[in-house]
Amino acid sequence: MTTAPSLIDPLLMRQTMGRFATGVAVVTTEFDGVPHGMTVNSLTSVSLDPPLLLVCFNHGARSVEAVTTAGGFVVNVLSRRHQEIALRFARRGEDHFAGLGLEYEGHRVPVVPQALAHLECDLERTVEAGDHTVVFGAVTGVCTREGDPLGFYGGRFSDIVPHGQALDPWFF
Ligand X SMILES: Cc1cc2nc3c(=O)[nH]c(=O)nc-3n(C[C@H](O)[C@H](O)[C@H](O)COP(=O)(O)O)c2cc1C
Binding residues among 39-58 for ligand X as defined by CB under 6 A: 39-42, 56-58
Among 28, 29, 63, 79, binds ligand X (CB under 6 A): 63
156 binds ligand X (CB under 6 A): no
Task: Decide if residue 70 touches ligand X (CB under 6 A).
Answer: no
Closest listed residue to residue 110, CA positions, set 87, 76, 154 = 76
Q: Does 24 participate in binding ligand X (rule CB under 6 A)? A: yes
Q: By C-alpha distance, which of 30, 43, 35, 31 is closest to 76?
A: 43
Name which position in 46, 90, 138, 160 contacts ligand X (CB under 6 A). Answer: 90
Site for ligand X in 93-132 (CB under 6 A): 93
CA distances to 24, 52, 125 from 129, in Å? 21, 18, 13
In whole angstroms, the minimum distance from the beta carbon of 7 to ligand X comes to 23
User: With CB under 6 A as the contact rule, which of the stretches 34-42, 105-113, 123-131, 158-166 interacts with ligand X?
Assistant: 34-42
Separation between Cα atoms, residue 147 and residue 157, nearest integer Å = 16
Alpha helix ranges (H) inside the chain: 10-17, 63-70, 83-88
